Structure 1
Amino acid sequence: MADTASVRVTDHFYLARQPILGRDQHLFAYELLFRHADEPAVDVTDQAAATAAVISHASQLGMQHVLGGRLAFLNVDEIVLMSDFIRFLPPDKVILEILETVKATPRLIDRVVELKKNGFRFALDDVVCDAGDVRQLKSLVDVIKVDIKATGRERLPQLVKSLRGEGQKLLAEKVETPEEAELCMRLGFDYFQGYYFARPSVLTGQKIAPSELALLHLIELIGSNADKQEIESSAGEEPQIRANLLRLLNSPMVEHRGKIESLSQALETLGPRQLGRWLQILLYSKPGAPVDLHSPLLLTAAARGKRMELMMERLRPKDQAAIASAFTVGILSLMDAMFSMSIAEVLGNLDLPDEVRDALLERKGDLGTMLRIVETIEIDHFRTDEFGQLLRKVGLTPADLTEIEIEAITWSDELALAA
């Protein structure tokens, strides 16, 4: 009966994850989230209970695929903490995030102490004050997550001062702008959660660097089926592009025989579509520098591309051009943040199919709807009824999304490990 319930839950909830960065702005962990895709309002405690059912079911697929290669924060309520569900989780891979609705009863405190003896670590979620249940639990946890939106800028410095203790790390959550990230950095937060790193800061007069233009030109050449000599000649003008690309192509991420030593060999071995995919990923490397495969912006863009590719594979499994276009839309959707200019200006340097441009500029067509879906997965708050409508519009279910997300998690983690 437990397995039947698990399958039923996954028909209504989908899996997502949000990046948590350290002070070096590299990935530290992910928060795993299980969200309802249809009902207008679902109590957060119900979602925590769903966590138990979904993870229990997903454990059959292999827990490493659900958690990924990174440390995972996982929402838990009193029901989950007291249940045998906890045994499914590897203590060294998760931080149990105690929801703000949980009361610090003697029974619950005893359970936290017991689990800590078994190697589990804990975080407090959505903290906005240093009182009540927070005060009773904070000495037992490893991380305190502060909701900076609900706290407000005026109260934030004093709250940080009162929460700072021996051994506890502070995490700023709902950080949505570079300005908020800078404030939290100054206040001494250890970790940061939110998509401030993917928010474009459009700068007047910003220009694309020559090496970036060269990469864009190379992507166009491959997309237009240019001859190998022209491709090699274009890549030869920017040795760092060649070095970054060969590094990726000779990683375990790319399945092929032997070592790839040139772009013409890569083109012959992989074909233009596969080669174009890796060049698109390189757009998120800094000009003239080795590609940073731990960059949260690169990994977020790559995960978007992979999710959209997997969606299109389900909807049009035989349409390779549509599958490639889906990956391209996902990858390019964060170009404004990378180049600090509008997406329209970035696209002015690329000759792309109309359906790709329409999706990126106006969220039109199936590709535009799919991009709205992957963007919605990333945000903290959204209208679930509208999200359910988006899924139905393209013919996907929440269960489809959970399977897609697990595969995308595995793929993006492998990409980071290729560093």
Structure 2
Amino acid sequence: MPYANHFFLARQPILNRSQRLVAYELLYRNANSHDVEVTDGRAATASVIAHASELGMQKVVGEQLAYVNVDTAGLMSDFIHFLPNDKVILEVLESVEATPDVVARVTELRLAGYKFALDDVVGASDSLDKLQPLMDVIKIDIKGMGRDSLAELTRSLKNPRQKLLAEKVETHEEFRHCMDLGFEYFQGYYFARPVILSGKKIAPSQMAVMQLLELLASDADQRDIERAIKLDPLITLNLLRLVNTPAVGARFRINSVGHALIVLGRQQLQRWLQILLYVKGHQYDSPLLQLATTRGKTMENLLEQLRPGERVGADIGFTVGIMSLMDTLFSVAMPEILDSVNVLDDVRAALLHRTGEYGDVLKLIELVEEAQEGPELTGLLHRLGLPPSTLYASQLAAYEWINEYTSGVGVTPVR
């Protein structure tokens, strides 16, 4: 099997202080723990860079920037020029020694228009002293670092010419602490962790969408569905914006709710309503929306492979992926959410216990998000009968689909 076919891609979001998505770090991981390790660093790095550039960064990250890891072999190779300097930030790994050749190479690439981030900074070092002046972003690994140590390191690294990025931010408390310390960027899945609020009620706008989903599930009359949509101007506006994206593929502009229902059909309408749950105002590029839709579309793509010709299973997969973050969205415990909607037992088992085929696929995607290579991921792939190449292709197809609809509704990239 070619080296590239062993990959899966973890696309980890990077947010700014306003909690807007600004970039993704692209982490290529080996999806088969039984594979022979690639020992030629230059060949491995070249393969990753060539593969990423061949795909086209636009397909993988849309309008956002991409942080791409580079080791010494990658820095010194000509393959680096395959990466577009306006789309990537080259992330220098902690294993790179700041030799005179490395410093000269970074300087050369900066003159060629590339920007750099220094990865996994945890304290002072000779390499840090030599490379810091050449960096645009300093990434501080906060995991396991005490508050006092983090504050001291942050103070020592603050520089008006550089941005500080906190990585491995996994809780809301860690995020708030890093905000207080003056970090500009944040990487980690803290934004997807549910904060359950006792007595919290689902917002009226979201409840209206939930009620529409219930109408669809109960096979209500088309006129009743159209009437219910028209009762909420925001749902009407958002729905019309969404159905006019390239992702829907309509040949002409859709200007009415009735027309949208005819063009979409009920299954597609259900899908777009599920997406609308995550839309706040006109912010279609929120990290939670991006993560939920990525899960949903990747699950759909994988279920199409697992159950060829069985459209229903793929649609259920999309629903499971979208619903998997609703506890975070609503700040309501998942069992309580599921008690308020009518879902299949298989969907309930997947969302509550990660069991059954849908649960296995959801767990697989969660491991991929966290870049968790190893026996658990390999075991899931084996149990599902999925080759790594199918997982990778499903991811890329999902990214491209999501980029189409976000570009169609006019999302502006944040820098």
TM more than 0.5? yes
Aligned to 2:148, the other structure's residue is in SS state coil
Q: 1:159/1:67 Cα in 2 relative to 1: closer, same or farther (>3 Å)?
A: same
| CA distance in 2 between partners of 1:105 and 1:40 (Å) | 35
Aligned to 1:18: 12
For residues 80 and 183 of structure 2, the distance between their equivalents in structure 1, rounded to whole angstroms, comes to 29
In 1, are the aligned partners of 2:94 and 2:119 still within 8 Å (CA)? yes
* Range with bigger deviation, 341-350 or 262-271: 262-271
Q: 1:58: Cα distance to partner?
A: 4.7
Does 2:331 correspond to 1:337? no
Cα offsets for 1:142-173 (capped at 9, x unmatched): 00000011432221111111011241110000
State the 1:394 CA deviation.
1.1
Cα deviations by residue, 1:210-259 (Å, 9 ceiling, x for unpaired): 22222111012123321111112222332211111111112233211333
Q: Which amino acid aligns with 2:73?
A: I
- Residue aligning to 2:101: 107
Partner of 1:139: 133
- Indicate conservation of the 8 Å contact 2:191/2:288, yes or no: yes
| Other-structure match for 2:200 | 206
Alpha-carbon offset, residue 347 of structure 1: 1.4
- The answer to which of 47-56 and 21-30 deviates more is 47-56
Structure 2: any 5+ residue segments left out of the alignment? Answer: 411-415
Helix, strand or coil at the partner of 2:139: strand
Q: 5+ unaligned residues in a row in structure 1: which ranges?
A: 1-6
The one-letter amino acid of 1:392's match is H
Counterparts of 1:72 and 1:271, CA distance in 2:
36
Residue in structure 2 matching 1:379, options 353, 367, 370? 370
Instruction: Give the aligned partner of residue 397 of structure 2.
Output: 407
Q: CA deviation at 1:27?
A: 0.7
The aligned residue for residue 278 of structure 2 is 284
- Give the Cα separation in 1 of the matches to 2:216 and 2:256: 14
Q: Which amino acid aligns with 1:123?
A: A
The answer to whether residue 237 in structure 2 is matched with residue 243 in structure 1 is yes
Provide the C-alpha distance between the structure 2 equivalents of 1:78 and 1:58, rounded to a whole number of angstroms.
18
Alignment of 1:245-394 (within 5 A): 245-286=239-280, 290-380=281-371, 382=372, 384-394=374-384
Specify the code of the residue in structure 2 equivalent to 1:379.
E
Output one character per residue of 1:158-206: Cα deviation in whole Å (capped at 9) or x when no partner: 1111011241110000001111111111111010000111000001111
- Is the partner of 1:144 in helix, strand or coil? strand
Whether contact under 8 Å (1:38, 1:384) holds in the other structure is yes
Distance 1:100 1:45 in 2: 18
Question: Partners of 1:231 and 1:385 in 2: how far apart?
Answer: 47
C-alpha distance in structure 2 between counterparts of 1:171 and 1:126, whole Å: 10
Aligned-partner Cα distance in 2 for 1:389–1:138 = 41
Greater mean alpha carbon deviation, residues 150-159 or residues 38-47 = 38-47
Q: How far apart are 1:371 and its partner, in Å?
A: 0.1
What is the letter of the counterpart of residue 390 of structure 1? L
Q: Following the alignment from structure 2 to structure 1, what is the Cα–Cα distance between the partners of residues 252 and 7?
A: 43
Letter in 2 for 1:414: E
Structure 2 counterpart of 1:73, which letter?
A: Y
Q: Is the 8 A contact 1:301 1:333 kept in 2?
A: yes
Number of aligned residue pairs: give it: 409
RMSD in angstroms over aligned alpha carbons? 2.1
In 1: Cα distance, 2:89 partner to 2:38 partner: 18
Q: Is the 8 A contact 1:231 1:264 kept in 2?
A: no
Question: Could you tell me how far apart the structure 1 residues matched to 2:100 and 2:113 are?
Answer: 20
Aligned identity (percent) is 52
Q: CA deviation at 1:41?
A: 11
Contact 1:15/1:401 (<8 A) preserved: no
SS of structure 2 residue aligned to 1:149: coil
What is the DSSP-based 3-state SS (H/G/I as helix, E as strand, rest coil) of the residue aligned with 1:376?
A: helix
- Aligned 8 A contact 1:14 1:401 in 2: yes
- Structure 1 residue 396: Cα displacement: 1.2
Alignment partner, residue 52 of structure 1: 46
1:305-351: CA deviation from partner (whole Å, max 9, x where unpaired): 01101111122231111110000000010000000011111112211
Deviations 1:349-388 (A, max 9, x none): 21112211111111121111000011111115x3511101
Aligned AA (1:410): E
**SS of residue paired to 1:91:** coil
Report what 2:90 is aligned to: 96
Query: 1:29 & 1:62 partners in 2: Cα distance?
Result: 15
CA distance in structure 2 between the aligned counterparts of 1:365 and 1:194, rounded to whole angstroms: 28
What is the correspondence of 1:158-197 to structure 2 with a 5 Å cutoff? 158-197=152-191
CA contact (8 A) 1:128 1:150 kept: no
SS in 2 for 1:151: coil
Task: Report the counterpart of residue 413 of structure 2 in structure 1.
Answer: none
Q: Secondary structure at the match of 1:24?
A: coil
Amino acid in structure 2 at the alignment position of 1:372: K
Give the conservation status (yes or no) of the 8 Å contact 2:8–2:368: no
Deviation at 1:407, TM superposition (A): 1.6
Distance (whole Å) between structure 2 residues aligned to residue 44 and residue 121 of structure 1:
28
| Partner Cα separation in structure 1 for residue 214 and residue 42 of structure 2 | 46
Between stretches 230-239 and 181-190, larger displacement belongs to 230-239
